[in-house]
Every structure is written in structure tokens, then in C-alpha cells.
């Protein structure tokens, strides 16, 4: 896979070493067990896969190249490049401005954007309507377009469905930039609908079976269906794609549920349900598989690092919470001291304070992982901060050498 030019301050000697050891011994990614770092009073269980993915590294490389190659020029991102506060704040400190926030609120008027400005499409992609608006202004976006290729793959899959007269059901969050972009592209190809979770899939079943009036459909799925969508016509042939950062297990559950409903009505040989494969990106799949690997182990708590508005990170938190006390943080600044931690409640969408998060034991075990938009350097800072709370810890060099010897055996 291609190597990207990512700024050194996003890298970590510790994490890079661990990843290289595991990659060398397991290039086909068959082993999802965590790496154990035993520092004496603290043992970390590090996820097999986490951190910057292909799409994020591609976006970061292009963004910083745009800054280097366009001195003195006004440079804008349509919205946050990725969902990580450290990366976005650094880009802003270098002069990049965001036109929209993550909810679509206008931060900079379109009227102030001219053909002399550089506008970069973020990793999530953008809608056809926005691309048309920029083209009308004479703004070219191709050179530094950072749209993730795995997002574009979903768009191509949507086109194939539309070409075969399938309705495109998108498993995603309707207010997420990526899903907005995918919906825009899908709508061009055929009737499209966004379904957030299995509960909405079960609601959809009522309309597939004709058990609820179509007038109610427009209320149940308000803002989530394409123009001209008619549930009495457009729910007979269906294919499912997804926002690339959703939970793989949930996408499969939704797809299987809809498939069973369709086959119950029309039989399994009529091709009323498209045999689409999971359209998650490889990094989301790997990170979620690695998290399941963490769940097979015992630990006192889990720390998940990433942006609070990061969908893929939130799903890692959701998985860890099934078994462990889990703390969702943006970085080591949230570790106030050995007794207190500020962390995010993704269900309530608020940050709170917890005390006594590190148990009083002779030896504690901490699961540590991060989302696909979180720099490795941030994960290392969290690790080192926790270590600073304990005396007589083994050196990083000693522990890394031990890991290297263990996996070399």
C-alpha cells in the first residue's frame, strides 16, 4: 500500500514500532489479538489495528501539500477535513478556514468565495449540489480533492444498483457529511433512502409489506428520502450500501433483515434484493475486528482516543462499553490527574468528569485504542501520561525490546 507524507509531529516512535512488528509477522491481518505492553504496575493492551487509515493519510498529505504549494492564497475546506480536533486546529493555525461546520452550518458565506481561492473537499466527500455551486464560481477542486477512495467506492456501488433499477438504501447517519455526500450521489442514480439503525429497518418493513400508509412514510423518514420517492413503488427491489464508518455488524443485520423481508414477499430467486457486499472501508473493518480482539481479554478499563464527532471512533467506544468501563477522550489533556478524567458520553453528547477511574491495585490493565482519524502521537501521549502517575515503571525501550523478542520467537 502506498506510503504517504504525513508530518512527523503526528507520528509516534512507540506506536510505529508496535505496528511494524505486528505487520511484519502478520501481513495478511489474520491475528487480531492485542499487543501487551507490561510496564510493571501498568499493563497496556494495545489494539492490533487503530489510528490513521489510508483515506486520512491521503487527506492529510494533500492538505499540507496545498499549504506548501499555495503561499499567500486563501485556502478553504468545505468542512472539517477529518473528525479530529488536533488535526483540524493545526490546519486552522496555518490559515485554512472551514466553510461549514460538521452539522452543515454556514461559517463563511459562499458569496465571499471566488475563483482565486482554493477550496478542498474533505475526506468525507461532498454533495453534487456543492460541487456544482463551486464549479459555477469557477473554483477548481480536483487537484487537492481529499475524498476517501473507499467513500467513492460506495458511490460506484450505488450507481451499479441504480443502473439495475434497485432502490438504494444507505445505512448511515443522515446528518453526517459522508452520508449527505453519498445520498446526493445515490439520488442521481435512483430512488434512495437513509436508514440509521435496525429499528428504522423494522419501520421500513411495514412499508415494504404495505402495512402502513405511504403518507406516514414521509413523516417517519422525513429528510431521508430522495425526491419523488414513492414507497408503494420503490420498495420492491432494494440494495443496501453504507456510510463507511458504521458498525459492520449493524450493517449486516440491517441488510439481512431487509433481505429476509423481500424474500418472504417475492421469493429468493427473483433478484429483488441485490447481493451487495459490505461497503465499509478496510480500516473500519480492521479497527472493529481488533476491538473484538480486545474484548476477548480481561482488563480493568478501556481508553478510546479520538474526536467526539468521529463516527468510527464512537463505534469503538460502543463496542468497548459492552465489557469494560470505557473513557472516550480527545487526548492526554483530558487526563486531569491520577484520580480524575474528563470524557465524552456519546449517547448524551456531553463531556463529564469521572473520579477514581484508575483502580487502586498493585497492577492494572488498560485497553488502549483510537479511531481512524487520531494521530499515533496522541495515543502515545495518553500512554505516557498514565505511566507518569506510577513509580518504578519499566522503561519504554525495555518493554518494546521485550515485545520484539516475544513476536520474533
Q: Are residues 286 and 387 in the same domain?
A: yes
Place of cell 500500500: 1
314 belongs to a structural domain = yes
pTM: 0.90
DSSP E strands, 78-230: 97-98, 118-120, 167-171, 192-195
The last residue of a domain, from among 242, 266, 290 = 266
Q: Are residues 156 and 259 in the same domain?
A: yes
What pLDDT, on the 0 to 100 scale, is given for residue 1? 60
143 belongs to a structural domain = no
3-state secondary structure string across 206-254: HHHCCCCCHHHHHHHCCCCECCCCCCCCCCCCEEEEECCCCCHHHHHHH
Q: Are residues 88 and 70 in the same domain?
A: yes
Alpha carbon distance 179, 175 (integer Å): 7
Q: Are residues 58 and 42 in the same domain?
A: no
What pLDDT, on the 0 to 100 scale, is given for residue 216? 97
The tally of domains found in the chain comes to 3
Q: Are residues 121 and 15 in the same domain?
A: no
Q: Are residues 158 and 90 in the same domain?
A: no
Say which CATH number the domain at 183 has: 3.40.1010.20
Q: Which residues, including other chains, have CB under 8 Å from residue 300's CB and lie 6 or more apart?
A: 324, 325, 359, 361, 364, 365, 366
Sign of CA dihedral 45, 363, 377, 331: positive
Question: Helix, strand, coil: what percent of the chain each, to 5?
Answer: 40, 15, 45
Count how many Cα atoms sit within 13 Å of the Cα of residue 289 in the half-sphere of its side chain. 14
274 belongs to a structural domain = no
Q: Are residues 46 and 61 in the same domain?
A: no
Strand partners, 43: 38, 365
42 belongs to a structural domain = yes
Say which CATH number the domain at 99 has: 3.40.50.11270
Alpha carbon distance 184, 99 (integer Å): 19
Q: How far is CA 165 from CA 271, 272, 278, 318, 391, in A?
A: 11, 10, 20, 36, 65
Task: Give catalytic residues, as residue numbers.
Answer: 178
Which residue range is the domain that position 74 belongs to?
Answer: 54-136
Q: Are residues 291 and 319 in the same domain?
A: yes
63 belongs to a structural domain = yes
Q: Are residues 262 and 159 in the same domain?
A: yes
Q: Running along the chain, 409 residues long, what does each successive block of 10 average in pLDDT?
A: 86 93 87 95 96 90 95 93 92 94 91 95 94 95 91 95 97 95 97 98 98 97 98 96 90 94 89 79 83 93 96 94 97 98 97 97 96 95 97 95 84
Q: Are residues 403 and 287 in the same domain?
A: yes
Query: What cell does 114 get?
Result: 471566488
111 belongs to a structural domain = yes
Q: Which residues, including other chains, have CB under 8 Å from residue 401's CB and lie 6 or more apart?
A: none
276 belongs to a structural domain = no
What pLDDT, on the 0 to 100 scale, is given for residue 51? 92
Amino acid at each position: 500500500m502506498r506510503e504517504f507524507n504525513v508530518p512527523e509531529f503526528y507520528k509516534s516512535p512507540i506506536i510505529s514500532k508496535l505496528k511494524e512488528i505486528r505487520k511484519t509477522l502478520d501481513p495478511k491481518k489474520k491475528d487480531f489479538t492485542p499487543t501487551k505492553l507490561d510496564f510493571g504496575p501498568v499493563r497496556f493492551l494495545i489494539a492490533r489495528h487503530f489510528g490513521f487509515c489510508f483515506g486520512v493519510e491521503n487527506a492529510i498529505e494533500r492538505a499540507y501539500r496545498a499549504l506548501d504549494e499555495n503561499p499567500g492564497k486563501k485556502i478553504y475546506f468545505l468542512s472539517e477535513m477529518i473528525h479530529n480536533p488536533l488535526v483540524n486546529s493545526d490546519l486552522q493555525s496555518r490559515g485554512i478556514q472551514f466553510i461549514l461546520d460538521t452539522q452543515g452550518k454556514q461559517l463563511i458565506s459562499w458569496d465571499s468565495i471566488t475563483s482565486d481561492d482554493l477550496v478542498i473537499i474533505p475526506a468525507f466527500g461532498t454533495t453534487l449540489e456543492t460541487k456544482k455551486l463551486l464549479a459555477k464560481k469557477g473554483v477548481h477542486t480536483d487537484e487537492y480533492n481529499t475524498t476517501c477512495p473507499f467513500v467513492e467506492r460506495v458511490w460506484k456501488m450505488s450507481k451499479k444498483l441504480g443502473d439495475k433499477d434497485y432502490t438504494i438504501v444507505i445505512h448511515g447517519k443522515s446528518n453526517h457529511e459522508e452520508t449527505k455526500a453519498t445520498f446526493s450521489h445515490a439520488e442521481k442514480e435512483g430512488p434512495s433512502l437513509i436508514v440509521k439503525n435496525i429499528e428504522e429497518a423494522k419501520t421500513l418493513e411495514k412499508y415494504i409489506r404495505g402495512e402502513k400508509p405511504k403518507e406516514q412514510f414521509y413523516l417517519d423518514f422525513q429528510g431521508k428520502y430522495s425526491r419523488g420517492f414513492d414507497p408503494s413503488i420503490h420498495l420492491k427491489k432494494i440494495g443496501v450500501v453504507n456510510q463507511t464508518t458504521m458498525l459492520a455488524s449493524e450493517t449486516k443485520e440491517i441488510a439481512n433483515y431487509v433481505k429476509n423481508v423481500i424474500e418472504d414477499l417475492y421469493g429468493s430467486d427473483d433478484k429483488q434484493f441485490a447481493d451487495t457486499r459490505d461497503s465499509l472501508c478496510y480500516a473500519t473493518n480492521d479497527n472493529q475486528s481488533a476491538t473484538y480482539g480486545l474484548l476477548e481479554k480481561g482488563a480493568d478499563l478501556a481508553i478510546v482516543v479520538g474526536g467526539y464527532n468521529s463516527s468510527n471512533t464512537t463505534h469503538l467506544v460502543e463496542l468497548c462499553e459492552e465489557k469494560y468501563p470505557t473513557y472516550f477522550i480527545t487526548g492526554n489533556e483530558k487526563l486531569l490527574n491520577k484520580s480524575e478524567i474528563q470524557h465524552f458520553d456519546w449517547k448524551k453528547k456531553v463531556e463529564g468528569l469521572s473520579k477514581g477511574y484508575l483502580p487502586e491495585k498493585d497492577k492494572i490493565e488498560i485497553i488502549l485504542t483510537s479511531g481512524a482519524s487520531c494521530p499515533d502521537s496522541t495515543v502515545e501521549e495518553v500512554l505516557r501520561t498514565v505511566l507518569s502517575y506510577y513509580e518504578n515503571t519499566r522503561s519504554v525501550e525495555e518493554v518494546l525490546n521485550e515485545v520484539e523478542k516475544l513476536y520474533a520467537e
